[in-house]
Chain A
Amino acid sequence: MPAGPLIRFDRLSKTFQREGTEVPALREVSLDVQEGEILVLVGPSGCGKSTLLNLTAGFLASSAGAVFYRGEPIQGINTRVGYMTQEDNLLPWRRVAGNIQLPLEIQAAADQARRVADYIKLVNLEGFEQHYPKELSGGMRKRVALARALISDPETLLMDEPFGSLDAQLKLVMQNELLKVLDLSIRKTLVFVTHDLGEAVALGDRVVVFTGRPGRIKAIEKVPLPRPRDVFKVRFSREYEEVYNRLWRALEEEVYKGEAL
């Protein structure tokens, strides 16, 4: 059976209505995401990267074109994806363990306590099971959000600048953890939005550069670095530098255009 792309964006456009005027966010975006791939989207602010994720999750409906998931157009909420955003969106009234357990509760899964314990171990939060989110540091809250996104084992993960609010060192640590988790199950697909080009190259199998608003695809680069990778070390490789430079030339123009507006 020839496997098609997992996600296909087909001449996808999205326009928002803001105070009577039409604001185009995405225009005629066509792109395929393969199963098991890490696809990173970069682009200036307001280029519709987040909109693309929201369309994939089914939170928004497209204005024109369509998103196909396993060949079927997405209608309504797409429960096959897990979503992680810049805000950790933890339930403040639930403790760490309760937050991580939430997807299992909703799906009435078996063996919940053991799985929660496993994932707490995986993201290294042992000893903090009974803490409330407000008692944790930003990095620890991200780990909780990561464990919650992973525990229900969604085949696709959508991440919208999940580590955007972290300091540089902690960001590297979290990127490394994310890659390790993804390498545990080779079929898991990740669509990752960032405006940190270094993060994009370190994580991605492919990196897509978007133009400023309305977002269109400007360039796509394959990252010729094998996985598993060590995000601390790849930065010193020649391939990393070459891809980074090519992507920066594509992105630079868009960033300056955005500044001029």
Chain B
Amino acid sequence: MKVLARPRELDEPVAEVRGQVAEARPSGISLLSQRTLLGLALLLAWEGSGRFLVDPFWTSSPTRILGKLAEWTANGSLFFHLFITVREMLLGFVVGAVAGVCAGFLLGRNERLALLVEPYLMALFALPKVALAPLLILWLGIGIESKIALVAIIVFFLLFYNTLAGVRDVNPNLVNIVRLMGASERQIIAKIVIPSAGAWILTGVRISIPYSLIGAVIGEIIASNKGLGYLTEFYAGMFDTDGVYAALVLLMLLAVVLNVICGRVEQRALRWR
């Protein structure tokens, strides 16, 4: 096969540009050490105020929180409650996400069915899902099942609407192009619809992770005997702010870790954007 002439003008790659933007940093002390210093200063101020200004009964203090966390680690309750919450979240998330994506594809590819059920789904979507928690507890008890159900319902709607939008957003030109190549309906879905909607679904996953944590914790606060939400509620009831703060710190750490993982996955999967 003959090789064609290679044009030079305006035809050079633009790929190398990315990755150079993040270079602009304030000179002198690195951002990381500045951030560490700020964090330490805030912790010191908190510790100091607990000792000299405010009764730590109200605001606890970093050392007292650390003490509480050490105590929970030693007696095993830290990982027990942490894993309960993570389990509720993840199981609820998987159930809700699978159902939401399937429903989104079904209605996205079936315009008539979508027109039929859309107002009802809208009404359910508009309902604040946490208001369902008492009913779910009534049905499923105070164990983890009611929390899984609550998380699943919250995640379902977020992923359903994102998937539906993604399927509807598919560029019809791309569909026509592969039709000309002789693609079957199944190939169109596999090669165009799913990858194209994939970006929307990933966004749905990203926003529903924090919501699934909210769902699990609220379920636990309303009625339960285990999990991080239960811990905050239990220690608040005991007027033990150290326990409340320690549970909040765990929740915060959990949320941050989940967020970082999601960000990494999304960045890798959406490199083409």
Interface size for chain B: under 10, 10 to 19, 20 to 34, or 35 or more residues? Answer: 35 or more
Q: A91-B192, A93-B196 are in contact. Are A79 and B7 (CB under 8 A)?
A: no
Whether, in the assembled complex, B14 has its beta carbon less than 8 Å from a beta carbon of chain A, the answer is yes
- What residues on A are CB-neighbors of B52 within 8 Å? none
- What residues on B are CB-neighbors of A131 within 8 Å? 13, 15
In the bound complex, how far is the Cα of B179 from the Cα of A59, in angstroms?
Answer: 9
Minimum CB distance partner of B15 in chain A:
A135
- 0 or 1 for each of A90-124: is its CB under 8 Å from B? (1 = yes): 01111100000011011100000000001001111
Main secondary structure of the interface of B (DSSP, over half): loop
- A: number of interface residues (CB 8 Å): 47
In the bound complex, how far is the Cα of B178 from the Cα of A6, in angstroms?
Answer: 23
The reply to whether B180 and A92 contact each other, CB–CB distance below 8 Å, is no
Query: Which of A40-48, A167-175, A196-204, A208-216 contacts its partner?
Result: A167-175
The reply to whether A170 and B181 contact each other, CB–CB distance below 8 Å, is no
Q: Which of A151-180 contact B (CB under 8 A)?
A: 152, 167, 169-170, 173, 176-177, 180
In the bound complex, how far is the Cα of B196 from the Cα of A102, in angstroms?
Answer: 15
Q: A93-B198, A134-B272, A134-B273 are in contact. Are A83 and B177 (CB under 8 A)?
A: yes
The reply to whether A132 and B6 contact each other, CB–CB distance below 8 Å, is no
Q: A92-B273, A121-B1, A180-B4 are in contact. Are A169 and B187 (CB under 8 A)?
A: no
Q: State how many angstroms separate the Cβ of B273 from the closest Cβ of chain A.
A: 7
Q: State how many angstroms separate the Cβ of B45 from the closest Cβ of chain A.
A: 47
The reply to whether A78 and B180 contact each other, CB–CB distance below 8 Å, is yes
The reply to whether A137 and B191 contact each other, CB–CB distance below 8 Å, is no
Minimum CB distance partner of B12 in chain A:
A137
- What residues on B are CB-neighbors of A136 within 8 Å? 13-15
Q: State how many angstroms separate the Cβ of B208 from the closest Cβ of chain A.
A: 22
- 0 or 1 for each of B187-216: is its CB under 8 Å from A? (1 = yes): 100011001101100000000000000000
Q: A78-B180, A83-B180, A106-B181 are in contact. Are A124 and B1 (CB under 8 A)?
A: no
- What residues on B are CB-neighbors of A173 within 8 Å? 5, 7, 9
- What residues on B are CB-neighbors of A91 within 8 Å? 174, 191-192, 195
Query: What is B's interface to A at a CB cutoff of 8 Å?
Result: 1-7, 9-15, 171, 173-174, 176-183, 187, 191-192, 195-196, 198-199, 271-273
Query: What is A's interface to B at a CB cutoff of 8 Å?
Result: 57, 59, 77-79, 81-83, 85, 87, 89, 91-95, 102-103, 105-107, 118, 121-124, 128, 131-140, 152, 167, 169-170, 173, 176-177, 180-181, 184
Question: Can you name 16 extra interface pairs (CB under 8 A) apart from A87-B173, A137-B10?
Answer: A57-B180, A82-B180, A83-B180, A85-B173, A89-B174, A91-B191, A93-B198, A94-B272, A102-B191, A118-B1, A123-B4, A136-B14, A139-B7, A167-B9, A176-B5, A180-B4
